[in-house]
Amino acid sequence: MPVMTYREALRSAMADEMERDESVVILGEDIGVYGGTHLVTDGLLDRFGPKRVIDTPIAEGGFTGAAIGMAMMGMRPIVEMMTWNFSFQAVDQIIQNAAKVRYFSAGQAGVPMVIRGPNGGGVQLSAQHTHSLEGFYGHFPGLKVVSPVTPHDAKGMMLTAIREPNPVIFLEAGALYGTKGEVPEGEALVPFGKARIAREGTDVTLVGYGRQVNMLLRVADRLAEDEISAEVIDLRSIRPFDEQTLVESVRKTHRAVVVQEQWRWYSVASEVAAIIQEQAFDDLDAPVERVSGAEAPAPYARNLEIAAFPNEQQVIDAVNRVLYR
């Protein structure tokens, strides 16, 4: 299998779909001539021309809304948010129009579009440039929300996203654009709504998504040294949500720790904990633990930023609590 970076995997999926389907176009800030702030779209302008790779002014609400209009007409636009932090400028368009127009038009209008870009923090961008928006976007019916962590899933889920007839919020692990992994050639679509068991285990279920999954795999290695067998679930898809894989894992391990970079209140981890207690209450041997970001806007200083995000020790402490160790 070819090895490529997360960034190349995304680009490969978009280029493949643009080759296959002329209705696919890309819009965003500096995605064409500049090649993309994170170089995800590098080279696409030369291949597909300015009518399909559209550099926009810095006006997220305007170009996201325009892309919704294009999608309603049967085009399949991909909107790049330079970072998801800027999507707040476009929230009215995403939620009030993209997520709802199918419903309030009784199915007469549809919005087959993808909004993608880097999500999450970790590179000292401080308060306004650091958010994990899975729970926020996951709240709204009408949107699909995914958060792949491997290059394999980045490509496979992007292929699926572009072919989706619904608006997709595609939250990329921005800190991982350079990480490499095996990516199958061709149309290896990864479906939405299917979690991935990143590592099998029997003693405790660790649940995460995005870059937290890599941390959970490292935690699982450390726990193995103490002869604790941890199962790691990569949710991949926030909405639709794979309840079955989660619940089956907890029925096996009887314990769960949910980890997320985002703030705890009204978050994905809260939803996961609720699903487990609703569907596997009798199987639980301990309350579900949540490990989340610190309840403060993201700080700048390196030491503060590190303290603001979940770390391996916090997860191990939580595992010890659910194992009553």
Partner 1 sequence: MATTKSQSPRRKASSQDDGPVAATKTRAKKGPGTSSPSRNGAAPLTLDTETTLDLYRKMNVIRSFEDAAQRGFRQGKIGGYLHLYSGQEAVATGLLSFYQDTDKIITAYRDHAHALLLGSHPNEVMAELYGKGTGLVKGKGGSMHLFDVENGLWGGYGIVGGHIPLGVGMAYALRYQETDGIVQLYLGDGAIHNGAFHEAANLAGLWGRDGMNPTLFILENNNYGMGTSVDRATAMTDLSAKFDSYGIEHEDVDGMDLFAVLEVAERATKRVRETGAPYAIEAMTYRIAPHGAADFLERYRTKEEIAEWRKRDPIGLVEARLLESGVAEATLDEIKTEARAVVDEAVKFAEESPDPALEELYTDVYDEGERG
Cβ nearer to partner 1, comparing 77 with 293: 77
63 contributes a contact to partner 1 by CB under 8 A: yes
Does 142 sit near partner 1 (CB under 8 A)? yes
- Which of residues 96, 126, 311, 320 is near partner 1 by CB under 8 A? 96
Partner residues linked to 77 by β-bridges: 25
List Cβ neighbours of 157 (8 Å cut-off, separation of 6 or more). Answer: 146, 148, 170, 190, 192, 236, 237
Residue 227: active-site member? no
- The answer to whether residue 131 is catalytic is no
For the chain, what is the total number of helices (H) and then of strands (E)? 12, 14
- Asked if 41 interacts with partner 1 (CB under 8 A), we say no
34 binds partner 1 (CB under 8 A): no
The catalytic residue among 29, 60, 134, 305 is 60
Q: Provide, rounded to whole angstroms, the least separation between the CB of residue 284 and partner 1.
A: 30
How do 289-293 and 204-208 pair as beta strands? Answer: unpaired
170 binds partner 1 (CB under 8 A): no
Beta strand residue intervals within 92-228, DSSP E: 114-119, 144-146, 168-173, 180-182, 196-199, 204-208
Out of 130, 147, 166, 292, the only residue in the binding site for partner 1 (CB under 8 A) is 166
- Rounded to whole angstroms, the Cα distance separating 121 from 127 reads 10
Task: Based on the shown chain and the rule CB under 8 A, indicate whether residue 51 belongs to the binding site for partner 1.
Answer: yes
Among 4, 18, 70, 78, binds partner 1 (CB under 8 A): 70
Assess 183 for contact with partner 1 (CB under 8 A): no
Which residue among 5, 83, 85, 93 contacts partner 1 (CB under 8 A)?
A: 93
Per-residue tokens: 118: 């880097």
* Minimum distance from residue 299 beta carbon to partner 1 (Å): 30
**Do the strands 53-55 and 180-182 form a parallel or antiparallel pair, or are they unpaired?**
unpaired
Q: Do you find a cis peptide bond into 165, omega within 30 degrees of 0? A: no
CB 83 within 8 A of CB 60: no
Confirm if 17 and 69 have CB atoms less than 8 A apart.
no
Under the criterion CB under 8 A, does residue 101 sit at the interface with partner 1?
A: yes
| Cβ at position 173, least distance to partner 1 in Å | 24
By CB under 8 A, tell whether 21 contacts partner 1: yes
Min dist. Cβ of residue 18 to partner 1 (A): 13
The verdict on 160 binding partner 1 (CB under 8 A) reads yes
| Residue 278 found at the interface with partner 1 (CB under 8 A) | no
How far apart CA 142 and CA 70 sit, in angstroms, is 18
Active site residues: 60, 129
